[in-house]
Amino acid sequence: MSMSSQFDTALGWSPRLSFSKVLRVVLCLIVLFVFAAPFVTIISGAFNKTTDSTQVSLYPHDPTLLGFEIAGEKGIWGYFLNSLVIVGGGLLLQLAVSILAAYALARRKFRGHTVVMLLFLLTMMLPEEVIAIPLSQVLADLPFLGISLKGSVFGVILPVALWGFTILIMTEFMKEIPREIEEAARLDGVGELRMLWVIVLPLSKPVLGVATIFGFMMIWDQYLLPLIAADDPSDYTLTVALSVLRSDGTVGPGVLLAGALIALMPSLIVYLLMQRSLIRGITAGATKG
């Protein structure tokens, strides 16, 4: 085997200098800068004692934790806890609903199947601004129960329980599970719930990882829903609280960047922990069929 073949990769790298290799390096550096520069700037500004919003700095010139201390005095950690509670409960409920709905749509045929799928997809087509007022009225007076969910975590958790995106990707993945496995299990007397729990879910781990990552980010980044569901500023989530802090004239850019870094970390941690599941899920979906 030649020396060049030992260093070849899927991108076509080779140890010999060529115009194509230089071009690839330049393009990779440009992409890296575009995606990494904002993140590095947030870190730099969050730890910098004097942050100038008109200048971009890739490292803190005068490192300090003052921005985090002021953000804590403004109640940022309480808002952070609100966000964690909502995203935890909302994500668990969303995954449970999506799994059950996807299993029914993928493995069972019934009258009105297409209509049900279309209704699920409508949740992706309607922007939040369109349903904000009707949703606010429903949360203030829940139909048939006559109770108000405003000012409670359930006012944010329940509306995010149904998301057409997770149902769609799970449905398409579960359709590809061989029916021979299901038929063999039924001969052994396996029921519906056990079929879902013991057979379908273990085979659906890749798509569960994809649904978890996107579901977490969807709920964590909610802005309008927590705003209309809140009765008091103490009910705000971190994303809403950051917009409120931005309008506070006593708060400088460093405090806002510290809050933005706090808001960014959970999504980053979830992605890093589940990136393998995301890659497996995307790869599995691309190679099926």
CA 134 – CA 141 distance, rounded (Å): 11
Task: Please give the mean pLDDT across all residues of the chain.
Answer: 83
Range with the lowest mean pLDDT among 3-7, 161-165, 188-192, 235-239? 3-7
pLDDT tens for residues 91-120? 999 999 999 999 989 888 888 888 888 888
Burial 170-203 (b: 16+ CB within 10 A, else e): bbbbbeebeeeeeeebeeeebeeeebbeebbeee
User: Residue 63's beta-bridge partner residues?
Assistant: 48
- The tens digit of pLDDT for each residue in 8-65 reads 544 455 556 677 788 888 898 898 888 888 888 888 888 887 656 556 566 777 788 8
Q: How far apart are CA 205 and CA 169, in angstroms?
A: 12
Q: Contact, 57 vs 125, CB < 8 A? A: no
Please name the residue that has the structure tokens 């085979």.
203
Confidence check: pLDDT of 199 > 80: yes
Structure tokens at 228: 């209309």
pLDDT at site 10: 46
> Which of 5, 38, 7, 11 minimizes the C-alpha distance to 23?
11
Q: Give the global pTM.
A: 0.82
| Amino acid at position 67, single letter | G
